[in-house]
Structure 1
Amino acid sequence: MSLMKIFDTAGSGMSAESLRLNTVASNLANADSVSNSPNTAYKAKELMFAPVLQQQSGATAQDANANVGVRMAGVTESQQPVESHYEPGNPMADANGFVYGSNVNPIDELVNMISASRSYQNNVEVMNTTKQLMIKTINLGS
């Protein structure tokens, strides 16, 4: 793998982790939201990623000329049940006096945020190390 392709791979990872961080932020922002129906209550968003293998002309999957990365394959909603609370005085309560909260688990989201942040940082380190290697290689010729 050439050093320039490392930038593509790490950049792809950084983009994926950035999307993951934005999704976590959205989930955390809606963690305390309520609704008058379990169908309209906020459901935590979960991203699905897929590997990307872009082959260049004549390259095989095992060839060093293939570019590897990651892409977002889709967004799903968590299938965890939403919580219901009996609050007849709440303006969002249904006819039976229940309000329905989101199914966001803040602890899971914080763990996901830390994981995404660390993965992003690791990709930044890969890019910085590659840049340093390129600079040292150029300096060998001087």
Structure 2
Amino acid sequence: MDFMTALDIGASGLKAQRANLNVISMNMANIRTTKTLEGGPYQRKSVSFESSPVYSPFDTEMQNQLNRELHGVKVLGVTADQRPFKQVYEPHHPDANDQGYVFYPDINVVEEMANMMNATRGYEANVQTITAVKQMFQRALRIGMGA
């Protein structure tokens, strides 16, 4: 594996974790949202990841001949969670139904914080990978220049 491929793999991880952190923060920001533009309460969202090839089709064929397969990660999509909404009795709330219940998204702050910490750790690991690759590249340049 060359330096650029290692950087591409790390960058794909950074991009995926950034998307994950954006969705988690969106969930946290909408924890009490009872009415969206689509109508009804906000639905919790989650990110799906998928392994993706790092190489171009030609590079992939060359790597297949060498029996090596390298993959990065990409965001497959953002999906709405199908959990039922929480019903809270608040008869004076403007979005209360006829029985006085308001529907809120079923978002657990502890779960979202754990997801955020996990995504942050993944992001940090990819940053460390990219930093290590850059350091190896710089040392290789120094060796090549006879320094």
When normalised by structure 1's length, the TM-score is 0.89
Partner of 2:80: 77
After TM superposition, where is structure 1 displaced by more than 3 Å over at least 4 residues in a row?
60-67
Aligned residue pairs: how many?
139
| Cα displacement (A) at 1:56 | 3.6
The Cα offsets for residues 67-96 of structure 1, whole Å up to 9 and x where unpaired, read as 521111111111222100111111111122
**Amino acid in structure 2 at the alignment position of 1:105:** N
The alignment-based identity, stated in percent, is 29
Partner of 2:25: 25
Unmatched segments (≥5 aa) in structure 1:
none
Partner Cα separation in structure 2 for residue 18 and residue 61 of structure 1: 30
Q: 1:75 to 1:97 in 2, by over 3 A?
A: same
Structure with the largest fraction of helix: 2
Q: 1:46 to 1:65 in 2, by over 3 A?
A: same
Q: Is the 8 A contact 1:42 1:103 kept in 2?
A: no
**Amino acid in structure 1 at the alignment position of 2:21:** L
Partner of 2:40: 40
RMSD: 1.9
Query: Counterparts in 2 of 1:53-132, with a 5 A limit?
Result: 53=53, 54-57=55-58, 58-61=61-64, 63=66, 68-132=71-135
When normalised by structure 2's length, the TM-score is 0.86
Q: Is the 8 A contact 2:34 2:40 kept in 1?
A: no
Q: Is the 8 A contact 1:56 1:65 kept in 2?
A: no
